[in-house]
A and B are shown apart, each in its own frame.
Chain A
Amino acid sequence: MSGPSPAFRSAVALRDDALAGKLRVAEIVEETLARVARTEPTIDAFLHVDADGARARAEELDRRVAAGEASGRLFGVPIAVKDNICTRSMPTTCGSRMLEGYLPPYDAHVVERLLAEGAVLIGKTNCDEFGMGSSTENSAFKPTRNPHDPTRVPGGSSGGSAAAVAAGVVPLALGTDTGGSIRQPASLCGVVGFKPTYGAVSRRGLVAFASSLDQIGPFGASVLDVAHLASALAGHDPHDSTSAAFEPPDYASLLSRSVDGLRLGVHEDFLEKIKDAGVKERLRAAVRQLRDAGARIVRLDDLDFLTRVGIPTYYLVATAEASANLARYDGMRYGPREEAADLAATYARTRGARFGDEVRRRILLGTFALRAGHKDAYYERACKVRRLVQRAFAAAFERVDLMIGGTSPVAAFPLGRNVTDPVTMYRCDALTVPASLAGLPAASVPCGRTAEGLPVGLQILGPPRADAEVLSCASAFEQLSGRFGDLAPLAVEAAAEGDDA
């Protein structure tokens, strides 16, 4: 093979070459499919790969180039889509047996946007069932493995998308973030992940887990690529009543190289109180780099309660909403049905057999939180605390421009370690759920590796609608650290090729 393989190049470079006719989209797609074939046996990032669809799409795009009609911000760029986002060309299972074989009758709003921008959909990526989990081990079909160390998890719930980017299979992927499901796997896989402000990206076609928290966002190897995809995704959609009525700017054109004078807030819960020494050390170094580059680091001492109340508040709100959102899976209109003696028994059997343990656990928790007599103490109190969280952040953002800290308190952990201990698993979300509760934009950018060689992510949070500022700071940090992604593809590829040899 001559020159660098397309999949190792940035989305922007691929697009520019494809538009200029220097690289045929068909070549990009073939190379991508070849990488899928090489990495999947180790990584298991995909639930569905649409080789025929991608090839047909490449032909169509190449014809446009030949006709001089090629355009699009993501022209010719192969993109992987998390399996809880509806695609009419591919099954959408949400990693659940409940939706096994389900083919949606429509494309999600974001998928329409990708196609309008000239992207090529490669396949659907693995995830924790209905987005419920932090390791992708709750997928009903298979776990995904971390490309940096296949004995470890990629994080979750968007583990498949993070792993596919980290393994260099695709330059960009879509994930969804309810309590950290983009940022945490980005951190564990050493890639850039971005959760936009709640409402910036339409949720139409995103299979709901917790509607007031769910948000679609991009994964990429670099902030620039992520900014391009984030711009393509964002914008008002009249078919989503929670879609914000504002037209976001072109993030990519606003990326800065400097953090000089930027006020960055740091709270000890997001840094000094992290127990994992390797993770803490990388984060301290990142803060030093930013300070040395002229950022003003501001200690925020009065935000203790964010991490203290974050997890319980999040798990009450999210499970309450989930208990209603997942009620539609009753085996009546779509998906498999487990017939039983009568209606109630059919419901019970279908839902009992088709939902996994974690999904059933959360439905039960949410149902309990909304029960008459308990609603005041649980659901409603959680909603009140959530408003306090929003206020606390608002107050903090009067003193600082952005906040920085860890994305995950731990690096990638071995498969199987936390599966039987849901509470330990929930604690993985301690640093990501506060921003979710407040609907804030937040990114995770790689900031080095632990002694074991596992990636660590720096989280950057901004006030609502400061998506451009968050990405700009992420870009500046990326320049400082000299890392453009922290891909693990070579190791994986070497392993795969070694096997072949």
Chain B
Amino acid sequence: MSGAAYESVIGLEVHVQLATRTKLFCGCLNVYGADANTNVCSVCTGQPGALPVLNGFALELAVRAGLALGCAIASRTKFDRKNYFYPDLPKGYQISQLERPVNGEGSLRFVNEAGEERVVRIARAHLEEDAGKTMHPDGDRSSLVDLNRAGIPLLEIVSAPDLRTPQEAYRYLTELKRRLRYARVSECDMEKGSLRCDANVSIRPAGATELGTRTEIKNLNSFRNVERALAHEIERQTAVVEEGGSVVQETRTWREDEERTETLRSKEEAEDYRYFPDPDLPEFELEEERVDAIRAALPEMPDVKRARYVGSLGIPEATADVLTADRDAAEWFDACVAALPDGGDAKGVANAVTGVVLALANDQGVSIADLRLTPERLVEVVGLVDDGTISRQAARKVIAELDAGDEAPAEVVERLGLAQVSDEDALGATVDEVIAAQEKVVEDYRGGNENALNALVGGVMKATKGKANPQLARELLIRRLGGAGG
């Protein structure tokens, strides 16, 4: 039987740590990488008598994320206790949201691997507190617990089972991350654990509408591993079914080293979390005005931005994709467009941003927003290219210099002598010299070899140490030598 006989159904549960200054229910810092158990207090270590107080900014970020994902925002919301024992869970329960999550249904639009537009429903996105970290040092029978992470605000984003392939899962995650980063909700850095993902997957005969028995895969530490683990799990489930067996509902873990999933715990051992409303945190209203204010402050989302770049600025799709991949780059570009004079060269600026400026930031290992180079200066440089003052080649140098100091573009051009020779009289003499010196090439050109002209332009550039305006040099050469094959 071929693989196409089955269809896979995938749903993802994504946890992102919200980029707040402090934890969800106490004043401890929300930072990554501090010494163990240094960002803790009586609340997040679960001391007797300690009480939680909701961090208003965490709630705002949760709503912001919900709006970025098109979720219905709850008018009333509340917290529930999820009860289970584990050493890294200080209170013996996690404060989460079961009923009345802050964000209800939403959706995420993206283009799948086949180039089709997909809309995946989001079931909910709720607030909860993170647990601490348990470490098991090698060769030691004891375990260590670090509670710095305990109480950090998490948003759990649960998709509907709308994804159909591992590649779609990958693309969904990429788009989700992009949106959350646009909304400045989370760093979404899987390496630092600020984005974590569990995957639910089942298979069913192609065309069926009922869901098959699903398994949940944990321990997925990159988007690539989500994709790979899902591919392996679908293969495994297909093999089980084709051999006449049935899939067992269970939680499996991804073993990256062995490229396979294995059973972590079966459903029989599944816990009853005995959820109930947290009596320490009364249900509260999310006022419409507050939600409206958050909505008003929400930045333009990447899909809207991309459409605007392509549609009204005439920027090629590939360039628009690069610009909108990251909110910092897009906003930097937006600032350039704002500085551009009427009828200015938006496309030229876009090319400069994607071709030069992003590389500059990348080389320095900083965000484009942290460069010394400003959007206004870049627009000036592009203007100098467009009016023929400097070459594209020279523009690269100017941009690098601008980022290293506080000079104006014209000053850099002057100091480095990068102005193109655009004066016909001055360049005419050099053109004559090159024609005289390269008889062979001139003959080739006259014999109909178009490429020979490029060699002659190169000769002029070399003789002027790159300062000649290549366009003018080409024109002068043609004028003196007549048309190709002429």
Residues of A within 8 A of B (CB): 85-86, 92, 94, 99, 102, 104-106, 108, 203-208, 210-212, 238-242, 320-321, 323-324, 326-330, 332-334, 343, 347, 367, 370-372, 375, 379
Q: B57 near A: Cβ within 8 Å?
A: no
Given contacts A105-B42, A241-B54, contact A208 B49 (CB under 8 A): yes
Residues of chain B from 45 to 94 with CB closer than 8 A to chain A in the complex: 45-54, 81, 83, 85, 87, 90-93
- Do A203 and B93 have beta carbons less than 8 Å apart? no
Of A94, A99, A320, A324, most buried by chain B (CB within 10 Å of CB) is: A324
- Do B47 and A321 have beta carbons less than 8 Å apart? no
- Do A323 and B83 have beta carbons less than 8 Å apart? yes
Q: Which residues of B contact A241 (CB under 8 A)?
A: 51-54, 280-282
Q: B465 near A: Cβ within 8 Å?
A: no
- Do A203 and B51 have beta carbons less than 8 Å apart? yes
- Do A239 and B93 have beta carbons less than 8 Å apart? no
- Do B92 and A328 have beta carbons less than 8 Å apart? yes
- Do B90 and A108 have beta carbons less than 8 Å apart? no
**Contact of B92 (CB < 8 Å), options: A210, A242, A330:** A330
Binding-face segment, B156-164, B271-279, B320-328, B444-452: B271-279
**Beyond A211-B279, A328-B91, A375-B276, 6 additional pairs, beta carbon < 8 A:** A241-B282, A242-B282, A324-B83, A328-B48, A330-B85, A370-B276
Report Cα–Cα, A104/B42, bound state, in Å. 9
Given contacts A239-B51, A242-B280, contact A324 B92 (CB under 8 A): yes
Q: B145 near A: Cβ within 8 Å?
A: yes
- Do B49 and A104 have beta carbons less than 8 Å apart? yes
- Do B53 and A106 have beta carbons less than 8 Å apart? no
The contact sample of 21 A-B pairs, CB cut-off 8 A, is: A85-B49, A86-B48, A99-B48, A102-B48, A104-B48, A104-B49, A207-B48, A208-B49, A212-B279, A239-B51, A242-B280, A321-B276, A324-B92, A328-B91, A330-B85, A330-B87, A330-B92, A333-B90, A343-B87, A371-B272, A372-B274
**Contact of B49 (CB < 8 Å), options: A207, A238, A372:** A207
- Do A333 and B92 have beta carbons less than 8 Å apart? no
- Do A371 and B49 have beta carbons less than 8 Å apart? no
- Which residue of the partner chain B has the closest CB to A347? B85
Residues of B within 8 A of A (CB): 42, 45-54, 81, 83, 85, 87, 90-93, 145, 272, 274-276, 279-282
Report Cα–Cα, A330/B88, bound state, in Å. 11
Given contacts A92-B48, A104-B48, contact A327 B54 (CB under 8 A): no
**Closest beta carbon of chain A to B265's beta carbon, Å:** 13
- Do B48 and A371 have beta carbons less than 8 Å apart? no
- Do A327 and B49 have beta carbons less than 8 Å apart? no
- Do B49 and A206 have beta carbons less than 8 Å apart? yes
Of B50, B85, B279, most buried by chain A (CB within 10 Å of CB) is: B279
Report Cα–Cα, A29/B145, bound state, in Å. 44
Report Cα–Cα, A343/B88, bound state, in Å. 12
- Do B274 and A328 have beta carbons less than 8 Å apart? no
The A interface is mostly helix, strand or loop, or mixed, namely: loop
- Do A242 and B48 have beta carbons less than 8 Å apart? no
- Do A328 and B90 have beta carbons less than 8 Å apart? yes
**Closest beta carbon of chain B to A431's beta carbon, Å:** 23
- Do B47 and A105 have beta carbons less than 8 Å apart? yes
Report Cα–Cα, A40/B324, bound state, in Å. 76
Report Cα–Cα, A102/B90, bound state, in Å. 16
Report Cα–Cα, A323/B279, bound state, in Å. 13
Report Cα–Cα, A208/B91, bound state, in Å. 12
**Contact of B145 (CB < 8 Å), options: A204, A208, A327, A332:** A332
- Do B49 and A204 have beta carbons less than 8 Å apart? yes
**Closest beta carbon of chain B to A212's beta carbon, Å:** 4
Report Cα–Cα, A330/B90, bound state, in Å. 9
- Do A379 and B276 have beta carbons less than 8 Å apart? yes
- Do B49 and A86 have beta carbons less than 8 Å apart? yes
Given contacts A94-B48, A102-B48, A327-B85, contact A375 B274 (CB under 8 A): yes
Q: Which residues of A contact B276 (CB under 8 A)?
A: 320-321, 324, 370, 375, 379
Q: Which residues of A contact B92 (CB under 8 A)?
A: 324, 326-330
Of B49, B54, B81, B274, most buried by chain A (CB within 10 Å of CB) is: B49
Report Cα–Cα, A371/B271, bound state, in Å. 10
Of B52, B92, B274, B280, most buried by chain A (CB within 10 Å of CB) is: B274
Q: Which residues of B contact A371 (CB under 8 A)?
A: 272, 274
Report Cα–Cα, A94/B87, bound state, in Å. 23
**Closest beta carbon of chain A to B284's beta carbon, Å:** 9
Q: Which 5 A-B pairs have the closest CB atoms?
A: A327-B92, A212-B279, A370-B274, A211-B279, A207-B48
Q: Which residues of A contact B42 (CB under 8 A)?
A: 104-106
Q: Which residues of A contact B275 (CB under 8 A)?
A: 370
- Which residue of the partner chain B has the closest CB to A372? B272
Given contacts A343-B87, A367-B274, contact A239 B279 (CB under 8 A): no
Q: Which residues of A contact B83 (CB under 8 A)?
A: 323-324, 327, 370
- Which residue of the partner chain A has the closest CB to B284? A241
Of A204, A241, A334, A379, most buried by chain B (CB within 10 Å of CB) is: A241
- Which residue of the partner chain B has the closest CB to A373? B272
Q: Which residues of A contact B50 (CB under 8 A)?
A: 106, 204-205
Report Cα–Cα, A330/B279, bound state, in Å. 21
- Do B47 and A104 have beta carbons less than 8 Å apart? yes
Q: Which residues of A contact B279 (CB under 8 A)?
A: 210-212, 242, 321
Q: Which residues of B contact A102 (CB under 8 A)?
A: 48
**Contact of B47 (CB < 8 Å), options: A206, A334, A367, A379:** A334
Report Cα–Cα, A320/B275, bound state, in Å. 10
- Which residue of the partner chain B has the closest CB to A344? B85
Given contacts A321-B279, A332-B87, contact A108 B49 (CB under 8 A): yes
**Closest beta carbon of chain B to A87's beta carbon, Å:** 10
**Closest beta carbon of chain B to A54's beta carbon, Å:** 22
Report Cα–Cα, A105/B43, bound state, in Å. 11
Q: Which residues of B contact A85 (CB under 8 A)?
A: 49
Report Cα–Cα, A329/B51, bound state, in Å. 16
- Do B93 and A327 have beta carbons less than 8 Å apart? yes
Q: Which residues of A contact B93 (CB under 8 A)?
A: 324, 327
Given contacts A99-B48, A238-B53, A242-B280, contact A324 B81 (CB under 8 A): yes
**Closest beta carbon of chain B to A494's beta carbon, Å:** 39
Report Cα–Cα, A320/B47, bound state, in Å. 20
Report Cα–Cα, A333/B87, bound state, in Å. 9
Report Cα–Cα, A385/B272, bound state, in Å. 25
Q: Which residues of B contact A326 (CB under 8 A)?
A: 92
**Closest beta carbon of chain B to A199's beta carbon, Å:** 9
Report Cα–Cα, A37/B463, bound state, in Å. 108
